[in-house]
């Protein structure tokens, strides 16, 4: 904590000093109270300015204290805020950087607030399965209005102070001279005399608040209704129209009731897992290569999306296509993306123009010689990708990282056609690449540590969540998803219909069920992969032929108007039709299975068990570096509900003995070729 007497007028500046983000841990909370008390008894001080650093006023609670005695040790944040409220000298918050969660609540409890226009404020607790617990639900509606308060707290995303300048949240929003402006406001308050203005003295229209909260409750989507924090948040916001003490008490009760929920624990776990995912093992902790220019081979949907990611990261991009027509289509995809962002008000025209100015389109392979990283994004077929890497080997500069964007293929088989396998690795982007955050970074047998460090660093530069993977079929995500989808197909043979499986899994919290996902992505993608594997598939393995039979009938999914479901005007039928039912019944009969009804709970558990079993196997094989990486991949790339943590987190909540027994039953029912994660493998994953 730092003190600084302002030049004149008896204003003292208290600066929060807990780098990097001024998290409100117990030590900082104690120091704030002590600093306020020192300033309060100093006769030379008439007013107080509370500020942080250019990076952060305060990013809120210290997450590392969650669940520890320090979290609830006095002074808790509510005590700090009360000490500020009753201070006999006015306290003005001066905001730069971010003021999030408890950091914004600290500012809300001051007698006035001044911010730089670029400062960003928000209450993101909902993203951790919690609600603001130190007055945010009561003071923000009073200061900024119920509509804005609902937006900030339900969405969790921060907003720039400049966007809020017209509200009474801030007394001033300035472009520079933050401390001077805050000191000026503080002197004015001191001159006016007590009582100082405070959010707690403001009142809201009870009928208007009740109407807005009721509408917000009705608009909660299915996934939000599965998370208790959303209902608790609306309960607390609804109380903001009543007496402040009652509202604060209700808020605190709801907050404390959420801390121990599985959903909140899972969200905190996932938050930490994503922060850990980019951390490389000690053997790969080396200096990355410099990257200023990225080349992308292939200007289709995926290639254009990757190029946009690099342009948004202010990198120079070379986009290569085989002919001018294909290149023009790719450039148009990129131009349309930026035009849409500008039209939606999400990007300034100058920023969009600058991004596109960094793009060079070409059909000349020699242009790749100046790229630091080359990312191939062509058709998912080994021979095609090998041809690309042979040509690339001849033109790329020495030391360039050569990356293949592949979902399943063997990185070593691609690297083997080059003279520099140490520079070759996999970068598995997820579609649409400019939206999806997950990036699987795959290490080949010969990939050098500095090439891997470069790829992981590039992932963060592209604002992705990079996860290190070993080179094995399907890597982490598709290998687990393949086991999950396979189990769901087994359940069709056993007696379930596609819509029953999809409904059970969306009820658990998945964004979509597996058969709806298959229709959306196109059944021909899996069909092509299965045909490639057909020659080596053991005939004794259990295989459900329904997907192939649908494709043979031209039912390729949503793009053809029919797959597992039929589609009209882009809308999916609620249930599958007789064609699908007949194929499923025939598959059951061919295997001699007496069909039976599967309860939603059985569907959910079997699907999750399949994921856990495969997760344990691939972790034992060294495909994943950390068990938590598996959960990051499934949550970020495959629609696993974030508030359920991921398959590893879910498994850790289960009774271990029953989990092992159920896995044995699952694998036995799967028949020949199913690999069981034994107790040792399971223990490694879950301990």
Q: Give residues with Cβ within 8 angstroms of 105, minimum separation 6.
A: 60, 77, 81, 123, 132, 134, 135, 136, 139
CB burial readout 472-496, b (16+ within 10 A) else e: bebbbbbbbbbbbbbbbbbbbbbbb
pTM above 0.75, yes or no: yes
489 is catalytic: no
> Once rounded to an integer, what is the mean pLDDT over residues 448-472?
97
Label each residue of 405-453 as H, E or C. CCCCCCHHHHHCCCCCHHHEEEEEECCCCCCCCEEEEEECCCCCHHHHH
CB burial readout 299-313, b (16+ within 10 A) else e: beebbbbbbbbbbbb
pLDDT reading at 533 higher than 90: no
pLDDT reading at 534 higher than 90: no
**Between 69 and 582, the higher pLDDT residue:** 582
Domain spans of the chain, in order of start: 2-259, 283-471, 478-686
| pLDDT more than 90, % of the chain | 91
| Domain 283-471 class, CATH top level | alpha beta
Q: Cα–Cα distance between 159 and 157 in angstroms, integer?
A: 7
What are the DSSP calls for 67-122, one per residue? TSGGGGSSSPHHHHHHHHHT-SS-EEEEE-BEEETHHHHHHHTSSEEEEETT-EEE
Tell the CATH topology of 478-686.
1.10.1040
In which band, very low, low, confident or very high, does the pLDDT at 7 lie, cut at 50, 70 and 90? very low
Q: Cα–Cα distance between 124 and 102 in angstroms, integer?
A: 10
Strands laid side by side in the 91-95 sheet: 2-5, 11-15, 47-51, 91-95, 112-116, 172-174
Query: In which region does residue 92 sit, left (phi positive, over 0), alpha (psi from -120 to 50) or beta (all else)?
Result: beta
Q: Are 119 and 205 a contacting pair, CB within 8 Å? A: no
First to last CA, the chain: 40
3-state helix, strand, coil in the chain (%, to 5): 55, 15, 35
The CATH number of the structural domain formed by 2-259 is 3.90.226.10
Greatest CA separation for the chain? 91
Tell how far CA 458 is from the center of its chain. Answer: 18
> Once rounded to an integer, what is the mean pLDDT over residues 482-493?
97
pLDDT reading at 535 higher than 60: yes
Q: Cα–Cα distance between 87 and 14 in angstroms, integer?
A: 14
pLDDT digits (tens, 9 = 90+) for 189-215: 999 999 999 999 999 999 999 999 999
Q: How many of the other CB atoms lie within 10 Å of CB of 35?
A: 19
Q: By C-alpha distance, which of 441, 478, 483 is closest to 459?
A: 441
Q: Cα–Cα distance between 365 and 258 in angstroms, integer?
A: 57
What are the DSSP calls for 469-508, one per residue? EESSTTTTHHHHHHHHHHHHHHHHHHT--HHHHHHHHHHH
pLDDT, position 575: 94
What are the DSSP calls for 137-154, one per residue? HHHHHHHH-HHHHHHHHH
| Cross-strand bridge partners of residue 115 | 95, 173
pLDDT, position 5: 56
pLDDT, position 8: 60
pLDDT reading at 6 higher than 70: no
Report the sign of the C-alpha dihedral through residues 203, 209, 213, 216, in that order.
negative
Q: Are 112 and 135 a contacting pair, CB within 8 Å? A: no
In which band, very low, low, confident or very high, does the pLDDT at 586 lie, cut at 50, 70 and 90? very high
> Once rounded to an integer, what is the mean pLDDT over residues 359-387?
96
Q: By C-alpha distance, which of 415, 408, 378 is closest to 393?
A: 415
What are the DSSP calls for 245-302, one per residue? HHHHHHHHHHHHHHHTSHHHHHHHHHHHHHHHTTPPPGGG-SPPPP-SEEEEE--SHH
Q: Cα–Cα distance between 37 and 50 in angstroms, integer?
A: 13
Summary mean pLDDT of the chain: 95
Q: Give residues with Cβ within 8 angstroms of 559, minimum separation 6.
A: 522
Which of 224-233, 342-351, 624-633 comes out lowest in average pLDDT? 342-351
- Pairing of β 571-572 and β 567-568: antiparallel
| pLDDT more than 70, % of the chain | 99
Q: Cα–Cα distance between 312 and 316 in angstroms, integer?
A: 10
pLDDT, position 454: 98
Q: Which of 8, 37, 74, 105 is catalytic?
A: 105
Q: Are 249 and 238 a contacting pair, CB within 8 Å? A: no
pLDDT digits (tens, 9 = 90+) for 261-302: 999 999 999 999 999 999 999 888 999 999 999 999 999 999
In which band, very low, low, confident or very high, does the pLDDT at 2 lie, cut at 50, 70 and 90? low
Q: Cis before residue 195, ω within 30 degrees of 0?
A: yes
| E strand or H helix at 684 | helix 679-686
Tell how far CA 78 is from the center of its chain. Answer: 29
Q: Which of 5-9, 48-52, 163-167 has the highest mean pLDDT?
A: 48-52
pLDDT reading at 70 higher than 90: no
In which band, very low, low, confident or very high, does the pLDDT at 655 lie, cut at 50, 70 and 90? very high
pLDDT, position 239: 97
Q: Give residues with Cβ within 8 angstroms of 512, minimum separation 6.
A: 502, 506, 520, 639
Q: By C-alpha distance, which of 360, 196, 379 is closest to 300?
A: 379
pLDDT, position 324: 96
Q: Are 501 and 491 a contacting pair, CB within 8 Å? A: yes
105 is catalytic: yes
**Alpha carbon of 636 to those of 294, 429, 632, 647: distances in Å?**
24, 11, 6, 13
| Cross-strand bridge partners of residue 13 | 4, 49
pLDDT, position 526: 85
Question: Are 2-259 and 283-471 equal in CATH topology?
Answer: no
Q: Cα–Cα distance between 379 and 205 in angstroms, integer?
A: 59
Q: Are 300 and 377 a contacting pair, CB within 8 Å? A: yes
Q: Which of 65, 125, 180, 500 is catalytic?
A: 125
pLDDT, position 528: 82
Query: In which region does residue 177 sit, left (phi positive, over 0), alpha (psi from -120 to 50) or beta (all else)?
Result: left
């Amino acid at each position: 904590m730092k003190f600084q007497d302002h030049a004149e007028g008896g204003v003292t500046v208290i600066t929060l000093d807990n780098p990097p983000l001024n998290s409100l841990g117990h030590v900082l909370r104690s120091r704030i109270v002590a600093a306020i008390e020192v300033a309060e008894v100093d006769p030379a001080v008439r007013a107080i300015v509370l500020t942080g650093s250019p990076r952060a006023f305060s990013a809120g609670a210290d997450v590392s204290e969650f669940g520890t005695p320090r979290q609830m040790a006095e002074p808790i944040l509510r005590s700090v805020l009360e000490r500020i409220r009753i201070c006999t000298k006015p306290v003005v918050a001066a905001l730069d950087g971010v003021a999030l969660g408890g950091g914004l609540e600290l500012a809300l409890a001051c007698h006035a607030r001044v911010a730089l226009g670029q400062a960003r404020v928000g209450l993101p607790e909902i993203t951790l399965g919690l609600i603001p617990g130190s007055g945010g639900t009561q003071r923000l509606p009073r200061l900024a209005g119920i509509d804005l308060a609902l937006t900030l707290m339900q969405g969790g995303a921060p907003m720039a102070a400049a966007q809020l300048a017209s509200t009474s949240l801030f007394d001033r929003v300035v472009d520079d001279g933050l401390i001077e402006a805050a000191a000026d406001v503080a002197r004015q308050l001191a001159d006016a005399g007590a009582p100082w203005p405070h959010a707690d003295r403001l009142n809201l229209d009870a009928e208007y608040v009740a109407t807005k909260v009721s509408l917000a409750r009705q608009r909660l989507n299915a996934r939000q209704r599965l998370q208790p924090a959303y209902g608790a948040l609306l309960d607390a916001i609804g109380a903001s129209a009543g007496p402040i003490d009652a509202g604060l008490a209700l808020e605190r009760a709801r907050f404390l009731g959420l801390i121990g929920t599985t959903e909140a624990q899972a969200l905190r776990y996932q938050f930490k897992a994503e922060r850990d995912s980019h951390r490389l093992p000690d053997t790969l902790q080396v200096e990355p290569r410099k990257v200023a220019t990225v080349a992308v081979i292939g200007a289709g949907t995926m290639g254009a999306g990757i190029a946009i990611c690099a342009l948004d990261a202010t990198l120079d991009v070379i986009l290569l296509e085989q002919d001018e027509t294909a290149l023009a289509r790719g450039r148009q995809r990129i131009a349309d993306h930026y035009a849409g962002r500008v039209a939606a008000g999400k990007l300034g025209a100058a920023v969009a123009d600058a991004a596109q100015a960094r793009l060079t389109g070409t059909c000349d392979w020699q242009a790749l010689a100046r790229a630091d990283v080359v990312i191939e994004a062509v058709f998912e077929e080994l021979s095609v990708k090998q041809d690309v890497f042979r040509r690339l080997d001849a033109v790329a500069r020495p030391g360039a990282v050569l990356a293949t964007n592949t979902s399943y293929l063997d990185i070593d088989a691609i690297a083997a056609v080059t003279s520099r396998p140490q520079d070759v690795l996999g970068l598995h982007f997820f579609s649409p690449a400019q939206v999806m955050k997950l990036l699987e970074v795959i290490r080949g047998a010969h990939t050098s540590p500095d090439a891997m460090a470069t790829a992981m660093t590039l992932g963060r530069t592209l604002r992705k969540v990079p996860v290190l993977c070993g080179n094995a079929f399907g890597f982490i995500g598709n290998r687990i998803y393949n086991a999950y989808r396979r189990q769901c197909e087994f359940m069709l043979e056993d007696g379930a219909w596609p819509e029953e499986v999809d409904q059970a899994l969306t009820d658990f919290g998945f964004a979509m069920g597996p058969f709806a996902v298959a229709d959306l992505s196109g059944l021909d993608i899996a069909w092509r992969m299965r045909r490639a594997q057909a020659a080596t598939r053991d005939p004794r393995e259990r295989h459900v032929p329904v997907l192939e039979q649908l494709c043979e009938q031209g039912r390729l999914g949503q793009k053809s108007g029919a797959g597992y479901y039929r589609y009209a005007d882009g809308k999916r039928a609620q249930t599958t039709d007789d064609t699908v039912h007949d194929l499923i019944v025939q598959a059951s009969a061919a295997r001699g299975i007496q069909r039976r009804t599967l309860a939603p709970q059985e569907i959910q558990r079997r699907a999750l068990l399949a994921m856990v079993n495969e997760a344990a196997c691939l972790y034992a094989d060294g495909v994943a570096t950390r068990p938590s990486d598996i959960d990051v991949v499934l949550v970020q790339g495959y629609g696993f509900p974030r508030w359920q943590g991921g398959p590893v987190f879910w498994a850790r909540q289960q009774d271990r003995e029953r989990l092992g027994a159920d896995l044995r039953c699952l694998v036995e029912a799967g028949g020949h070729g199913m690999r069981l994660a034994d107790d040792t493998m399971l223990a490694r994953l879950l301990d």
